[in-house]
Homo-oligomer: A and B are copies of this chain.
């Protein structure tokens, strides 16, 4: 579960391009193509940042920004405005309406990426250079490595995601179905029992550090990560 970014732009091509670039940069990305789907998407995806086009059919980017900031639970959500205008006044309006930064089209991906990083660093520093710590386990999200007692624990991609999810939700029991939804992603059809196997693999990987007991089976319910 990495940093999630919601793209709001009516041009599908741009959305696709951005999505690809963002995913490439290690983010999780999703797009909506008009203002009225934004709130639903926010609730659904719970993004950590929004890229918001200035010009949207039906509802302007500013209106959308205001709408977002109006919702208490999203007041803190950082917004970066994308706009074709270069006029000073639009910049002012944009920032006034609650945007955290402002990128003019055409922009270089490089610039966009660094602005995203800057905004994230300013608004939610923990997301970027976050180290997840549970007891003796340290997960470095940026380098995607897991360390215990100064030794790296090699993990396959799925085991890594599984452990990350557990470390972000320690001590709570999750059913196999919940794990499939939240680690594998929705609309993935996989056997429930597959979770068992990956739990096994995760435990095996943790074994050399003698930490396999951290993954606790809750019979009849699922699994949880033992809190330190």
Contacts and interface: CB of A to CB of B under 8 A. Distances in A.
Interface residues of A, number: 35
A140 B170 CA distance: 13
B173 A24 contact: no
A181 B108 CA distance: 19
Contacts of A42: 110
A44 B173 CA distance: 24
A110 B181 contact: no
Nearest to A218: B144
A108 B23 contact: no
A101 interface: no
Interface string A194-228: 00000000000000000000000011110010010
A20 to B, nearest CB: 6
A66 interface: no
A140 to B, nearest CB: 8
A53 to B, nearest CB: 19
Interface of A: 20, 23-24, 26, 39-40, 42-44, 108-111, 113, 140, 142-144, 156-157, 171-173, 175, 177-178, 181-182, 186, 218-221, 224, 227
